[in-house]
Structure 1
Amino acid sequence: PCEHHEECQSKCCVTNNLSPQRFCTPKTFFLQCLSWTKPNGYSCQDHSECQSECCVRSSQVPMQFCTSKTVFLQCVPWRKPNGEFCRSHSQCWSQCCLHVPQISAFRCSARNGILAQCLPL
């Protein structure tokens, strides 16, 4: 166990598992001193906590989890399906949040029209 880099022969004192305790560890091939990061599925609050550098909501549960990035290296959070209440386009899988006058609320809606736009029916 250690508290500061100077205590270690490698000059590298980092967290290397879920425990908050820090340990002396060797530096990487590029002489970096890297802390342990969480694999996918672990709860998180910030992208830097995850090996994937992607910490997002992955369901209706309000907690965030470490998740893989897409093939385009994007970190995409879970979005609501059509019919769910919404406040903005970004909350919906369809990227379309429209006002429904009959119930005086906004709901996620499917895109429509020839150009698949976010238009009211």
Structure 2
Amino acid sequence: PCQEHLECQSRCCVTNSLSPQKFCTPQTIFLRCLPWRKPLGYSCLEHKECHSSCCAMTENARRSCTSRTIFLQCIPWRKPDMDFCSHHDDCNSRCCIRLVEGGHYRCVQQSGLIRQCLPL
């Protein structure tokens, strides 16, 4: 166990598991100290916590380490049509509106010639 880089022969004192305790670890071939990062499925708050560098909202409305797309994008999960929502970004269609006056907001497909978020 260690608390600072200077305590280690390798000059690397980093976390190497889910435990918050730090340990002396070897440097990379580029002489960098890389801390352990969480694998896919682990809860997270920031991208830097994840091995994939992608911390996004998942189906169960919590943030987890997720994989990137083939284009290396980090895209959060979004709700399907007719699910309850509170903001356009909640929906896969990017369209969250009230279907009836005074009703709940729901995700709906964009409509119209230029694909707008309009009431049905």
TM-score (norm 1): 0.88
Match of 2:84, SS state, is coil
Q: Does 1:13 align with 2:13?
A: yes
In the alignment, what sits opposite 1:91?
Answer: 90
Over the aligned positions, Cα root-mean-square deviation in angstroms equals 1.6
Q: Percent identity, aligned pairs only?
A: 55
After TM superposition, the structure 1 = structure 2 runs for residues 36-75 of structure 1, keeping only pairs within 5 Å, are: 36-59=36-59, 61-75=60-74
Residue 103 of structure 1 and its aligned partner are, at CA, apart by 5.0
**AA of the residue aligned to 1:95:** R
Report the counterpart of residue 25 of structure 1 in structure 2. Answer: 25
Tell me the residue number matched to 2:114. 115
Deviation at 1:110, TM superposition (A): 1.1
For 1:73, the aligned partner's letter is L
The one-letter code matched in structure 1 to 2:57 is R
SS in 2 for 1:90: helix
Which ranges in structure 2 are unaligned for 5 or more consecutive residues? none
Paired residue type of 2:48: S
Hey, what's the Cα distance between the residues in 1 that align with 2:58 and 2:77?
5
Q: Which amino acid aligns with 2:30?
A: F
Report runs of 4+ in structure 1 exceeding 4 Å deviation: none
SS at match of 2:6: helix
TM-score when normalising by structure 2: 0.89
Q: Secondary structure at the match of 1:44?
A: coil
* Map of 1:77 onto structure 2: 76
Shift of 1:102: 4.7
Deviates more, 1:24-33 or 1:95-104: 95-104
